[in-house]
Amino acid sequence: MPDFSPWHDNSFTYGSTYGSTYGSPNNAPAPPQRISEDPEFHSLRRAQRGFGVRASLLSVGGFLLYVLLSHSVPGLMNQRLAGALTLGLALGLGQFVVMGVTAWCYVRHMRTRVDPLARGLSSRLHQQQAGSHGDAGQTVRPGSGGYRTW
């Protein structure tokens, strides 16, 4: 099981307090490397945040534009397009399309860019844990995730 940081970010750490340090003369545990200091972790966070900010700005901006147009230019929004369909109603229904496309792009982005980085980081963490816990006879169960329980 990974060691948890006492700090507020709750990021778990690499390494163990026992393991490769048994051969050292003073038997002092090596300081664990925090996962939040890993460059691969930073690229994972950048990939998540970068898309999230752009998608949020696009979605919220489109909705804000719709609300502002509805308030500022009611004559334009009440123009009939076909039958009882007005421009305002069409733009309002278009918000559902924008949200659907945004959700689809988010899922695609996560599958292609973020998930491979997360899987690589997770497998490297599990390999390091298995190597450091190998002396104690413990095994790391795949899928355990190492998450803190409440």
User: What is the mean pLDDT of each successive set of 10 residues along the chain, which is 150 residues long?
Assistant: 50 47 49 69 84 90 93 93 93 93 92 87 81 55 55
What does the pLDDT read at residue 117? 84
Residue 130's pLDDT is what?
Answer: 78
Predicted local confidence at residue 60, as pLDDT: 92
Across 54-82, b (16+ Cβ under 10 Å) vs e yields: ebeeebeebeeebeeeeeeeeeebeeeee
**Rounded Cα–Cα distance for residues 30 and 17 (Å):** 7
pLDDT at residue 12, as a whole number: 52
Q: Please tell me the pTM assigned to this model.
A: 0.58
